[in-house]
Amino acid sequence: MIYTAHYNSPLGGITLTSDGMALTGLYFDGERDFPDLSPGRKKDLPLFGDVMRWLDLYFDGKEPDFSPALNPTGTAFQMSVWAILRTIPYGETTNYGAIAKRLEKKTGKRMSAQAVGGAVGRNPISIIVPCHRVIGANGSLTGYAGGLDKKEYLLELEGAID
């Protein structure tokens, strides 16, 4: 069963999804990869309260000092990229190539920045798993499922860009 809740952010509506134990998705309403949530069911889970408290702190310009339970679903490669995303400090950025190099060092296998970009783009838990902190090698803001305007807002909120 998929459980859902809705959060009103300064950037518009956000839909939260859960398996009942952990957060499985955080999507801007109308984003390009918005999932089919049928037969989802709205439910007031304690987890959703934790996520909304985290988002309230975040959108107030504060770095939350806790993380709600997360359970994203993806391939082993995607999961390894998403784990690296969670290590990018608040207010800092990295690029796709740097993530590829970290994976190469860890696995001993050559990785491409494009493959990393594909995994970053499929992150189902935006903001909390901070895919918005990944930028192009030249410092440009590149792809974001919620839209580049949202990515720019989030990075400005964190003080990562002016």
Q: What is the DSSP string of 7-43?
A: EEETTEEEEEEE-SSSEEEEEETT-TTPPP-TT-EE-
- Domain 76-158 coded CATH 1.10.10.10: yes
The radius of gyration of the chain's CA atoms, rounded to the nearest angstrom, is 15
Q: Which pLDDT score is estimated for 48?
A: 97
Number of neighbours of residue 61 by Cβ within 10 angstroms: 9
pLDDT at 40: 67
User: Domain coordinates of the chain in residue numbers?
Assistant: 3-59, 76-158
Q: Hey, which residues are catalytic here?
A: 131
Class of domain 3-59: alpha beta
Tell me what pLDDT residue 103 has. 95
Q: How far apart are CA 125 and CA 113, in angstroms?
A: 21
Retrieve residue 85's tokens.
Answer: 């995303």
Q: What residues in the chain have per-residue pLDDT under 50?
A: none
At 146 the pLDDT is: 82
**Residue 134: predicted pLDDT:** 96
